[in-house]
Chains A and B, each alone.
Chain A
Amino acid sequence: KQEVTQIPAALSVPEGENLVLNCSFTDSAIYNLQWFRQDPGKGLTSLLLIQSSQREQTSGRLNASLDKSSGRSTLYIAASQPGDSATYLCAVSTSGGSYIPTFGRGTSLIVHP
């Protein structure tokens, strides 16, 4: 059964820092990996989707990479801003799970001015 771990669970940084959020998974036979953002009391907003054949995806200040062999994905946020404060979740879809994603517990990020 796929297990997804996100480290760190919480992170507090000053504005302007570049930062990396980590997501690791136990079963490397994945189909895709999706990063989401969740603001307090709200739903999940998709940030980036990486298919298994891809190594990375970029959107604005966000870059997500995927290394299936090591079971890892990283979400890189450049020049962080207070508006980036949120919880970031990764979700992994595998063949054994009928494509239903397995979620990590998330990283709670605070960017202070």
Chain B
Amino acid sequence: DVKVTQSSRYLVKRTGEKVFLECVQDMDHENMFWYRQDPGLGLRLIYFSYDVKMKEKGDIPEGYSVSREKKERFSLILESASTNQTSMYLCASSFMSYPLKYGYTFGSGTRLTVV
């Protein structure tokens, strides 16, 4: 089975801290995605990446950056955490050539609280 692993299930950080959320997949997927999920707002795309060192902004990139130095790892960075970034963060991955056939696989999520 494809596995997408997010390094932390729960994280509590202070306002102004630099925060790293890590995501690793083990199926050689080209595409990787970061979403945040909030009650009443659903899933919103923050950033995605089609290849190593490549990144594209999603719908809500402000306050975030990403890093993809290796194919299997996609990191989300909160440069200076703020309380409005308290949320559930979800990582996903898929094949570039066959997302249509195999769909998307999600990690188990990281619940981030900024105090």
CB-CB under 8 A for A105 and B111, given A32-B100, A44-B90, A91-B104: no
Contact partner, B103, options A32, A52, A106, Cβ 8 Å: A32
Tell me which of B11-19, B42-50, B60-68, B71-79 binds A.
B42-50
Chain A binding surface, main DSSP class: strand
Q: What is the size, in residues, of chain B's interface with A at 8 Å between Cβ atoms?
A: 25
Chain B binding surface, main DSSP class: strand
Q: Are B99 and A105 in contact (CB under 8 A)?
A: no
Q: Are A100 and B45 in contact (CB under 8 A)?
A: yes
The answer, yes or no, to whether A63 is at the interface (CB within 8 Å) is: no
Query: CB-nearest residue of chain A relative to B90?
Result: A43
Residues in A whose Cβ lies below 8 Å from that of B43: 89, 103
Contact partner, A51, options B33, B101, B105, B107, Cβ 8 Å: B101
How long is the Cα–Cα vector from A42 to B109 in the complex, in angstroms?
A: 6
Q: Are B106 and A43 in contact (CB under 8 A)?
A: yes
Q: Are A43 and B104 in contact (CB under 8 A)?
A: no
Q: Are B48 and A100 in contact (CB under 8 A)?
A: yes
Chain A nearest Cβ from B113, distance in angstroms: 12
- 1/0 per residue, CB under 8 A from B, across A26-59: the answer is 0000011010100001111110010110000000
Residues in A whose Cβ lies below 8 Å from that of B92: 44
Residues in B whose Cβ lies below 8 Å from that of A93: 99-100
Q: Are A46 and B48 in contact (CB under 8 A)?
A: no
Contact partner, A106, options B42, B48, B104, Cβ 8 Å: B42
Q: Other CB < 8 Å A-B pairs besides A42-B109, A44-B106, 9 of them?
A: A31-B99, A31-B100, A51-B101, A89-B43, A99-B94, A99-B99, A100-B48, A103-B42, A103-B43
Residues of B participating in the A interface, judged by any CB pair closer than 8 Å: 4, 6, 33, 40, 42-43, 45, 48, 58, 88, 90, 92, 94, 99-109, 111
Identify 5 residue pairs between A and B in the complex whose beta-carbon atoms are under 8 Å apart, listed by A's number: A41-B109, A42-B109, A43-B4, A43-B90, A99-B94
